[in-house]
Structure 1
């Protein structure tokens, strides 16, 4: 342990020295250098504190070193005892008439006895001393060792308490740095996207020239130049037109070589009388330069750039006003069309536009600052950058923060954000703000924001715990009862061996008032009274009488359970705000969970909401069926795709020994069989290649991305199986 402690301290010192070296290499960045230096000094203090523990470890083992000495004394005592026995035997064997041998044996026995008594006394002394020290020394050393640990952790706590405010401020700076870095990345991606759209077969990226460029470079690019030597060799060089001159460089850092000193004194023309293609010649009074472009378009662009530069050089010397007129006119000779504005729109910008159209989302949910660019995906709200940093400090179990402009948004997650919004969430989490006389913080009030956000989402002080939504109106009850009866009749017609399939997509869904209306997200509107297992139970065992109980008497878990089936996200958010367990199991309905209810309700967005709020994708009911089982049985392809992306275990079997793939094969659902087999194959590939925690093959990701897009935007394409099954 002592040796390992020494190695630990040495490794810590090496790490600390590496941090200091990194700080020196970052001397041009004041924030990085200062932060790393401060952290390395703190680590050095912790190493110094740890040396005290190492010293106490040495003291702790001093008793065991005494024990090792005692073992050596014991071995010596046993050796002398054996010598004494041998002397006694030899003395007894000496014959009486051999006086000389008698005296010798007597002397040896006497000496051996003296030595034995001396060593025996020392041995007994060590035993007594060791016995007396055994309790006191061990406990004393161990107590000192524990006190050393106590001092170590106290010193560390004090050290990091002093470092805490600095770390907190640095975290706020990091948020800004992340935004700046992401903005720069987005700009580079825009440029990259623009370049990708060009036709590289003719090298169009080199076709742009600008006589009014700020750096003076009208056009630049690679050209072949014919040497003036006897061999007339061709060399590829980097040419540029700048400051009324034509120059080239052999390498990037080389000083440019001037080909034409004054473009006003030269002319440019095509060359068709040589074997090489795409050649043109720049002729000056003193020399001629033969050049070759990579394509005909590039040759035309270079010739036009030289001609335009010649004309511009004359105008600059003749009339400055004409130059100003030239600057006011378009000076870009790119062959690309200017209709790329739509192509430059990134996914993040599209997400911003869609989410900010939701009521209340045009301003920050917590402080009211306009044009928020961040969002909490599990709460479904938009935030300003300062509030997003505070939300991030709460932990992902309270709020998961994502950028609306810098991150790529999955379609189901984007639809989830559009289903909720600041107004809906604030009606739940700020229900008692006015009654309590609490004022919302204003932009810029960092400390007030932190206290308010913590009270709002962590402590939930402003949630009206007694204002749970009332029961559905009578009209909805009648609609639900009728739908439930139709559902029972359709299920009763199934044979014992027939797979249970979800009904065709209904044309209704719940609106704010609880009445059902049309939907476009691929959700199947089943009656809200069908329980999690009613699709698989005999008709006589279903209980519908308890469905219409006033929800004021429901516990939050049951409210979440029923709202998940009803596809009512505001009620689900309300139930979670009242402390509902997202993995609550209904013991009266085979321990089905809200996520299983969401599957039976047919809503992809509802499933995504529960998963973002910590729902266990592998929690199963009494029959051993998890959400993936139920989605497979019902033929909900979009949900199967979602659960596989969220880590569902496709190898789990139900009480009949069937895994989801077996169920899908028996039901002849080609889409779900394809998804399950692809996921299994991708899993096996990652395990064989040791890529644990990696997303997997690009083809696999592309296929799942396509299914996600269809499930969210074109759900009718995934209803082929259900429509075909109805034909038969």
Structure 2
């Protein structure tokens, strides 16, 4: 069933609905003008045809009389006689053509214009009258003073009646639009087919070009028959649907307002609100508001460019306003301005307040890992509002371009991981892949436990995140998540595929994991034990603080057995013999959690991603090694990117081993300053104490590691400042942000500079 306008959309009376009916009205008006002109032209043609037939018959009679003159010449007489008879038959047929056109074309077109279009105009006038009445009732309801109850009741009752009448009129109008859209095709096509059929009969013997249209006319005739059937069926279905909706209770006062943070069109909430102007007159205007892209915007007409009220919802708060004389008011307060809004009812007021609060929470959820603090963002916004300069935005843009170049240089990253569209500008930071804007929206709808989406050009990127993205890439991840695609013979979507096809593919790939290679069933234990050499090495390193990092990174997506790693990829040091001992270990039958545990120590990102794809618990605990976790294993080899990968995939930064030492304890003991900085940014507890009743600050002081002591004390001071300022206060001293940002860059780009105190505790 073809529906030009949806019945539910008209009940919302949105600018989108107004824009659609405006298009329909213009189309009907233009159609009426053209049909009236066509009817006049048809009448002129018919009159001219009748004159032509009459004159032609006189000419034929002249030919016949001329033939009588040639009675002695049988050739001329027979020719003129036959020609006059043939022409007379043709003229008789042409007279029938004229009468047929009069009945089939002109009459049908006139009937459509005089009856169907006129009925459409009448319903339209009734709709516009109800719309004007509703606007007046809304205005009176909004202006009713809070203290005069009788006026409030009168305004409310008037609004109720006006809205009910408007919705009834709107439904009737939408029905008429859909009916006329369905009927005009069949009527016009029927008239044209009748015209062509009689013309074809008339010129069939003498005009080859018309005879060539026989098959085409036959096809159109069949389609016209089907159009008639479809039009009747659609009309019946729409009348039944119209009747069913009209039977519903339309006397409710409040329109339906739904908050949907994951809406496909990006609009989390929309509806009408009154907005008080900031001029001296403080006038109120009714506008269509919406929450989209973490912004509060409004527009007067659907085609207007939205006006931004709040540029970033993270920088604002919302609260009811009881100081104003008007009812149902609430305030949206941002650092640069305060906007006073009014809903139509208390229910709508609460719905909008709740929607703005939820949007604020969603905005913080989506951007909680941004490199810039809330204070810095607030400062940049304030400076831009004041017209101030500064190089912050330029630096951020430069960093964004650098991140884009580095990440897209990874094999496979120049095309979207899921549909293959060129030059993707979005990424999933926990999967380590690049995405086009359509696939990124689908990934965002999966939830952050499956995919964390970030823009390569619009968001700021921390150096450890860039380093993480460069360790994986589309080619690596697709070898894991599409390992069995050839066996299953499911067609992968391409850039031009429909959004529904892409969404089905992405859910099958990442949520249902239909295409990954199934692990063999084994009876092995999930406990892992270190060899004596590894235990000795771990004890020695803990005692000497410094630990050399292993860096074997085989170029494979899945590695059930880690025996193909080349010793040349490993750092040449005293642990080479220990590596050879580990090289003999068969990991093919390991449980995914144990595989993640082993690969974290080896900094093998493809194997880590493979283990997570097969359901590995990112917080898996190895009871055989002091309840150590994959995150602690990554700490033991100073693997910054591996720690970031585990944290992005849900690793608990405060999960401690059997000695009550969490990742922050181990990083402090081993002197890994970059990891200490990372864990503090990710919310590590610097007050946690181990079995020896030592917190990380005490351990750092004992090891004389000034950098780590500085980081821990600044983090503690920053926390105290936030506690003093309250929950809605700034994020602490800007020095804290600068220091941690510098350490992040150094740990990712120049890690050797952070080892100057680790080797010598006395220095």
TM-score tier (shorter): 0.3 to 0.5
Larger Rg: 1
TM-score, normalisation: structure 2: 0.46
